[in-house]
């Protein structure tokens, strides 16, 4: 099993710093420095007894609102491993109760993603480590499970970190990273040659996995979103022979475009996440790294052109795991964690507002943000000693 996203970033940052040149690249990204605000209110506990990465990874949607209220997907710790669960709130996040266990079987399951379709059904994907090798599984909830869990990735080879979106017809679209069968060995930093794959449900069967990433191998952690016109948008980070860079592609009329870079630098870019608004504008955030620090960077795309980048995080503590959501009015929320153990949030509605600190203590990581009306709804993992739990907060616009 490859390192989890937080572990991988730490390994890469420690072992492959790019020196003063990379620091200069990051220094010239525009900053909008504002003081972080004090947490507005104490968070609510969604579930206890979770894993330390219960809400990982940032490229996956964890929170949705259906007709009955809010639903969160997370990873609970169980004897012998970990399993995926859903929790429900019927009162706007004030109280949470267990809803359903998602994953089954003797192998651990992690990294869930959820998406709501127009009929109100909740689609769930996750990684299950069959015999220690990642596979992508899928299930649908509509007040009850509509069938048992099913594997949607190939039976051989590794597949992990699924991203999930649902199109206008209510059909799930899934991306993941895996190892190409019969691939040509190539040099990468950690000796792996991952690629981004895409599958879709046509109403009867899942399509065969389609390779989306091209170029130098080692493409990791894809995020996916849908637009109002049916287009799909995907982003991931990919090795270019020197550093990892964010790559982007669109699917329109059944065809994926050739991947393109967003804003190339000589330093590493990791963990992108994206969302699209009702006009088809894409909001994208990622980690920009130097050998000494990492910052959260944002860019937007409209009319086939990128605008930005803008650095959102402030302070000396390295920032990681950005999560992006867009409201129906087009306001953008970006959340992230920092090495000070806090969760931070920033809102764009014509201009970027100040950085808001969502948490009041340390030990917080892996935030996931969703739009809940005009407000931001967030969940994250809180770790104190040997105890881990999922927490929730709703942050209204200022």
The pLDDT assigned to 33 comes to 45
Q: DSSP assignment, residue 95?
A: -
pLDDT bin (cut points 50, 70, 90) of residue 215 is: confident
pLDDT digits (tens, 9 = 90+) for 321-350: 999 999 999 999 999 999 999 999 999 999
The pLDDT assigned to 40 comes to 56
For the record, the structure tokens of 41 come out as 């209110």
Is the per-residue pLDDT at 82 higher than 80?
A: yes
pLDDT digits (tens, 9 = 90+) for 8-48: 433 333 333 333 333 333 443 444 445 455 555 789 999 99
Q: DSSP assignment, residue 104?
A: -
More confident residue, 193 or 44: 44
Pairing of strands 343-348, 63-66: unpaired
The pLDDT assigned to 281 comes to 97
The mean pLDDT of the chain is 89
Q: What is the CA radius of gyration of the chain?
A: 19
Block residue for tokens 């209510």: 170
The pLDDT assigned to 292 comes to 84
Domain with 57, as residue range(s), is 5-395
Distance (Å, rounded) from C-alpha 144 to C-alpha 318?
Answer: 42
Domain count, the chain: 1
Pairing of strands 305-311, 319-326: unpaired
271, 3 contact by CB (below 8 A): no
Is the per-residue pLDDT at 235 higher than 80?
A: yes
This prediction's pTM: 0.90
pLDDT bin (cut points 50, 70, 90) of residue 198 is: very high
Is the per-residue pLDDT at 242 higher than 60?
A: yes
CATH of the domain at 231: 2.120.10.10
The pLDDT assigned to 341 comes to 97
The pLDDT assigned to 2 comes to 40
What number is the average pLDDT over the span 352-359?
97
What number is the average pLDDT over the span 273-301?
96
């Amino acid at each position: 099993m490859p390192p989890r996203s937080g572990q991988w970033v730490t390994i890469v940052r420690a072992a492959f710093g790019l020196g003063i040149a990379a620091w200069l690249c990051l220094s010239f990204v525009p900053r909008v420095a504002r003081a972080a605000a004090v947490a507005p209110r104490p968070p609510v506990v969604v579930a206890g007894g979770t894993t330390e990465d219960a809400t990982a990874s940032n490229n996956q949607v964890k929170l949705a609102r259906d007709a009955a209220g809010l639903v969160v997907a997370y990873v609970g710790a169980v004897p012998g491993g970990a399993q995926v669960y859903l929790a429900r709130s019927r009162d706007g996040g004030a109280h949470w109760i267990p809803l359903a266990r998602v994953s089954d079987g003797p192998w651990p399951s992690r990294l869930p993603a959820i998406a709501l379709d127009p009929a109100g059904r909740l689609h769930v994907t996750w990684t299950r480590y069959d015999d220690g090798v990642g596979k992508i599984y899928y299930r649908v909830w509509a007040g009850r499970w509509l069938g048992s869990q099913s594997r949607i990735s190939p039976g051989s080879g590794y597949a992990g970190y699924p991203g999930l979106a649902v199109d206008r017809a209510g059909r799930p679209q899934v991306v993941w990273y895996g190892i190409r069968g019969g691939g040509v060995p190539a040099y990468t930093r950690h000796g792996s040659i991952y690629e981004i794959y895409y599958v879709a449900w046509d109403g009867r069967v899942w399509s065969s996995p389609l390779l989306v990433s091209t170029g130098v191998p080692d493409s990791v952690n894809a995020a996916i979103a849908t637009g109002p016109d049916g287009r799909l948008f995907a982003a991931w980070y990919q090795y270019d022979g020197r550093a990892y860079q964010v790559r982007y592609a669109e699917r329109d009329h059944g065809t994926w475009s050739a991947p393109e870079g967003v804003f190339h630098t000589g330093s590493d870019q990791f963990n992108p996440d994206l969302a699209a608004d009702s006009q088809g504008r894409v909001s994208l955030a990622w980690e920009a790294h130097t050998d000494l620090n990492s910052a959260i960077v944002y860019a937007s795309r409209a009319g086939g052109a990128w605008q930005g980048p803008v650095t959102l995080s402030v302070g000396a503590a390295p920032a990681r795991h950005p999560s992006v959501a867009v409201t129906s009015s087009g306001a953008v929320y970006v959340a992230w964690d920092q090495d000070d153990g806090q969760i931070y949030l920033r809102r764009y509605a014509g201009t970027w507002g100040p950085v808001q600190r969502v948490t009041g203590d340390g030990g917080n990581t892996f935030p996931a943000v969703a739009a809940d009306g005009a407000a931001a709804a967030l969940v994250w993992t809180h770790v104190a000693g040997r105890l881990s739990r999922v927490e929730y907060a709703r942050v209204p616009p200022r």
